[in-house]
Amino acid sequence: MDITIGVQNLPRELVIESAQSADEVAAAVEAALGGKSTLELTDARGRRVIVPSAAIGYVEIGTEAKGTVGFGAL
């Protein structure tokens, strides 16, 4: 699933591909915005991404299902 994080005062956004579920990501974002000082996520390669919660502009959580490729999707 793709997660897009908009960081304040940066022209580019962070795009992370994660194996975490949408509910896990949403819970981490809510905890960060609710008083925790950082948002910590793990990407698909096992790397940790840590963003200060005061710098978060927005978080877009993609869908968990991958789209199909080819003519079989018709």
Structural domain contains residue 53: yes
What is the C-alpha separation between 48 and 14, in angstroms, rounded? 13
pLDDT-derived band at 70 (thresholds 50, 70, 90) equals confident
The strand order across the sheet containing 56-61 reads 14-17, 2-7, 56-61
With a CB cutoff of 8 Å and minimum separation 6, the contacts of 53 are 32, 33, 36, 37, 38, 39
C-alpha dist (Å) from residue 48 to 40, 45, 51, 53: 7, 9, 10, 15
Structural domain contains residue 61: yes
pLDDT > 70? residue 65: no
- pLDDT (0 to 100) of residue 61: 94
Give me the domain span that covers residue 49: 2-8+18-65
Structure confidence by residue, pLDDT tens digits, 12-63: 999 999 988 999 999 999 999 998 999 999 998 999 999 999 999 999 998 7
- pLDDT (0 to 100) of residue 74: 59
Report H helices in 1-74. Answer: 22-33
pLDDT > 80? residue 72: no
Structural domain contains residue 34: yes
- pLDDT (0 to 100) of residue 66: 66
Structural domain contains residue 36: yes
